[in-house]
Amino acid sequence: MLRSRVGPERTPVERHTRAMYARREESWRPLTRQRVAAFLRLFMLCFVEMENGRPLQSLTYRLLKKALVKRIIPWIQNHLVWTTNDRYWPITLPQFRDLDSFLAEHLPRVHKEDEWSAIAYFFKVVAQERRDEYKRLEDMEREAMEAVRRCLGQ
Domain ranges of the chain: 12-153
Per-residue exposure over 69-107, b if at least 16 CB sit within 10 Å of its own CB, e if not: bebbbebbbeebeeebeeeebbbeeebbebbbebbeeeb
pLDDT score at 1: 58
* Per-block mean pLDDT, blocks of 10 residues, the chain (154 long): 70 76 79 89 78 67 88 92 87 92 89 92 92 93 92 79
pLDDT value at position 154?
64
pTM, rounded to two decimals: 0.75
